[in-house]
Amino acid sequence: MAAAIHHHHLLPPRLLSCRSEEELLEIQGTQLLSTTMGVKEYVQSEFESVEAEIISENKELFPGTVTFDDFLWAFGILRSRVFAELRGDKLALIPFADLVNHSDDIASKESSWEIKGKGLFGRDVVFSLRTPVNVKSGEQYDLDKSNAELALDYGFTESNSSRDAYTLTLEISESDPFYDDKLDIAELNGMGETAYFDIVLGESLPPQMLPYLRLLCLGGTDAFLLEALFRNAVWGHLELPVSQDNEEAICQVIRNACKSALGAYHTTIEEDEELLGSENLQPRLQIAVEVRAGEKKVLQQIDDIFKQREEELDGLEYYQERRLKDIGLVGDNGEIIFWES
């Protein structure tokens, strides 16, 4: 199995095209950098297709030269101003709608907009902005995004710990001897070969993360849980510690992933904090430092959680103990119950 990092958001070209080598160094090791490079490759590929299939074939419509930077600018304008779900035929820029500001004082998971019919019998549709929470006149609405997402989509960050997040990627390895069984169990429980877990600073781990981790590390004498007999009940067993070996393995996998990720940055959290405390920090450098510092804090939090878990392994109750209790062979205090003669 593997643990890694991914983000699935797009970076406006004002952050993509203008970054120098020095600026890219400032986000070395971050999810922001890997996504930046991935998106740039994607946009380059799209531009080459558009240039070959549309621009070159319709020169009368494009009398001037359309460069990659032009295309990158247009891509970013569209990405940073359209609303989620307005894709394909529904893709549209809404005049004035992108002028709505946001504030982290007002937050909601619900959508703040809708498209609906105009009038009782009208066939026209209107785009309607509404607030899902009570607001006062002049207040601004929150964007439910991490600092990395804000930097990717809009080119700014906020000094707020709830904005610090890290996406942990877990994957069932194709070389795992139990690959087919594990994939089947994952799919039965709404997951797949790869799972992404967004971890926010100061918040608990996503509820599905530990069961998925235990499934990935399952093997040895615990492999009996993968048999068809347990297929419909195995996820319930994975929600609790399976065995000390399995629990120790998940700690090692995650702690090694955290150590590897933290080692890829070129600064420490302390150095980042010192930079953020300095005056006259350039805006682009501040974005880089806030994102990488936030990522590192979350990685450190994850490592601390599993370090503490390693120290508690001897005191946890595992599957075999629970099973013996269920069939009445072990008392509540762990004593073995002998049959009366």
Measured over all CA atoms, what is the biggest interatomic distance in the chain, rounded to whole angstroms? 100
> If we measure between CA atoms, which residue out of 83, 85, 81 comes closest to residue 73?
81
Token pair for residue 258? 């955290």
CA distance 261 to 33: 13
Predicted pLDDT at 137:
59
Predicted pLDDT at 332:
59
Predicted pLDDT at 146:
62
> By the 8 A CB rule, do 7 and 35 touch?
yes
Tokens 């005049």 — which residue? Answer: 95
Domains of the chain: 12-82 (no CATH), 94-102+109-141 (no CATH), 161-325 (3.90.1420.10)
> By the 8 A CB rule, do 127 and 91 touch?
no
Query: Pairing relation of β-strands 194-200 and 113-117?
Result: unpaired
Predicted pLDDT at 334:
55
> If we measure between CA atoms, which residue out of 196, 224, 293 comes closest to residue 2?
196
Q: Give the three-class secondary structure for 127.
A: strand
Angular region, 119: left φ>0, alpha ψ -120 to 50, beta rest: left
Helical spans, DSSP H, in 122-268:
147-154, 179-188, 209-217, 234-238, 244-263
> By the 8 A CB rule, do 142 and 103 touch?
yes
Catalytic site residue 141?
yes
CA distance 144 to 191: 24
Judging by beta carbons within 10 Å of its beta carbon (0-12, 13-18, 19+), is residue 115 exposed, middle or buried?
Answer: middle
Q: Which of 42, 141, 179, 212 is an active site residue? A: 141
Predicted pLDDT at 6:
31
Could you read off the pLDDT tens digit of each residue along the chain, which spans 341 residues? 544 333 233 344 445 544 555 666 677 777 777 777 778 888 899 999 999 999 988 988 888 888 898 888 888 888 777 776 666 777 777 777 666 665 555 555 565 666 666 655 556 777 776 666 666 655 544 455 665 555 555 555 556 556 888 889 999 999 999 999 999 999 999 999 999 999 999 999 999 999 999 999 999 999 999 999 999 899 999 999 999 999 999 999 999 999 999 998 888 989 988 888 887 878 778 888 888 889 999 999 999 999 999 999 999 999 988 888 777 655 555 555 555 44
CA distance 231 to 320: 18
Predicted pLDDT at 153:
57
Token pair for residue 321? 């103990």
> By the 8 A CB rule, do 287 and 155 touch?
yes
- Contacts of 222-226 with CB under 8 Å at 24 or more apart are 222/246, 222/319, 223/178, 225/319, 226/178, 226/181, 226/182, 226/185
Predicted pLDDT at 321:
87
> If we measure between CA atoms, which residue out of 132, 18, 3 comes closest to residue 76?
18
